[in-house]
Amino acid sequence: MKFALKTRSGFTLIEVALGATILAVAFIGMIDALAIGSEMLDTARKQTIAAQIMQAEAEYLRMQPWSTISSLASKSPDYLSNYADFNPKLNHSSLAPSSLATFANTSFKFSRTVNTNPHANLRWITMTVSWTSITGKAHQRSSNLYIGKYGLNVSYQKP
């Protein structure tokens, strides 16, 4: 005796639709994660560039004699002293002072303020770099630099 068993194998239409929905949600999640990761990488890269701009400006100012530091205006214009160091295509002889440095298709605006309080032999210099991210959000990073007439040089940054 032979019994012929007819079994059906395969997926129903509902199972296929449910599987496709789960895959679509997973792909959308991965794409969103890539976009968020890309934004985070861009922000981190630009935070690093801003920190390097401020560090270079701080080192430039530390190399100056006290007569130059003491004559800095209490509110100097937006100005990056050593802009040519950030843009190798420029040389110092043809350099016009600029407050903008451009990296990775982003313009970084540098500003510096000088405070003589509380002592005449100490300068408190606040440097700020600001930029706009690829998403249009404004960012800025600040750094304080203390330069003393007799050799005190301290700086710290805050994001």
Q: In this structure, is residue 102 part of a structural domain?
A: yes
Q: In this structure, is residue 152 part of a structural domain?
A: yes
Q: In this structure, is residue 4 part of a structural domain?
A: no
Q: In this structure, is residue 1 part of a structural domain?
A: no
Domain count, the chain: 1
Q: In this structure, is residue 145 part of a structural domain?
A: yes
Q: Is 131 exposed, middle or buried (0-12, 13-18, 19+ CB in 10 A)?
A: buried
Q: In this structure, is residue 59 part of a structural domain?
A: yes
DSSP label at residue 63: T
Rounded average pLDDT per 10-residue block, the chain, 159 residues: 66 92 96 92 89 86 85 58 47 44 73 78 86 87 87 60
Tell me what pLDDT residue 21 has. 96
Give the list of residues 6+ apart from residue 117 with CB closer than 8 angstroms, or none.
Answer: 124
**pTM passes above 0.75:** no
DSSP lists the bridge partners of residue 100 as 109
The whole domain housing 119 covers 13-158
Tell me what pLDDT residue 94 has. 39
Q: Which helix (H) or strand (E) holds 113?
A: strand 106-115
Q: How far is CA 117 from CA 11, 93, 121, 140, 148, in A?
A: 79, 34, 9, 25, 12
DSSP label at residue 116: -
Q: In this structure, is residue 57 part of a structural domain?
A: yes
Q: In this structure, is residue 139 part of a structural domain?
A: yes
